[in-house]
Amino acid sequence: MSLDNISMVAQLSSSVATFEVAILLLRSLRLQHKDSVTSLGVGMTNSLAELLTIMSKDAEFSDLFLRGVESDGTLNKIETHRYSLQCIYERVFLADSGDMGI
């Protein structure tokens, strides 16, 4: 076998190996994306469950939250601050529970 033939076989096997690695990375990326979507869904569900639990146990907070959502202008300065903090908390919790860029 000549040196040219050996070189060609080496390049061909290197190309095949590179292609196989690309396929492996693609499969890994798809799995990672699927896991992140699942994680985001679980995080959002947990956040909603926590909010519903708080609202069912605390009538004052429930009233404050509903008036804040309706934006009817009946919240005083302290209530507006509490509502804003709750909204910020929810955003941070959701951001920590999964990838929000999906």
CA–CA gap between residue 97 and residue 47 (Å, rounded): 9
| Domain housing 67 | 3-97
Q: For residue 8, count other CB atoms closer than 10 A to its CB.
A: 11
For residue 102, tell me if it sits in a domain: no
For residue 22, tell me if it sits in a domain: yes
> pLDDT for 7-46, tens place per residue?
999 999 999 999 999 999 999 999 999 999 898 888 888 8
For residue 60, tell me if it sits in a domain: yes
* pLDDT: which is higher, 52 or 91: 52
Mean pLDDT, range 58-75, rounded to an integer = 81
Ramachandran class of 71: left when φ > 0, alpha when ψ lies in -120 to 50, beta otherwise: left
Cα 58 to its chain centre, rounded Å, is: 28
Number of domains in the chain: 1
Kindly state the DSSP code that residue 99 receives in the 8-state scheme.
-
Question: What does pTM read for this prediction?
Answer: 0.47
Kindly state the DSSP code that residue 98 receives in the 8-state scheme.
S
pLDDT score at 29 = 94
pLDDT score at 56 = 79
